[in-house]
Amino acid sequence: MGVGKPVVTNSSEHHRGFEGVADTILYRWSVERDTWVSPSEIEHARAYLTRHGIAISVLPDGRFALAGQTSRVFGAERLVMLGLQRLRGTRDS
């Protein structure tokens, strides 16, 4: 998950939430070809998904699972992708 990468967090990013950082993540993933996600982006994605009724559990090994579905385990990048897919669906509606 990008060990050694700087974590840039500012107060405006916090207030914008996941919806505000989504475009930055998509840019980084598509143009820079870098799927690294920061801890704050992960938390924004978790909070966004929770607000939309998708509960996420953090596993002891640092991966994530949909609450109650331990058979669907994924890493941080996939968690953020799930949030981006959900957000895109709401933007396209």
Residue 4 has pLDDT above 70, yes or no: no
Q: Hey, CA dihedral for 89, 90, 92, 93, is it positive or negative?
A: positive
Per-residue pLDDT, 92: 58
Residue 3 has pLDDT above 70, yes or no: no
Residue 74 has pLDDT above 60, yes or no: yes
Instruction: Record the pTM.
Output: 0.74
Per-residue pLDDT, 42: 95
- Kindly write down the DSSP assignment for every residue of 7-50, as one continuous string: ----HHHHHHHHHHHHHHHHHHHHTS------HHHHHHHHHHHH
Tokens representing residue 5 in the block: 């990468």
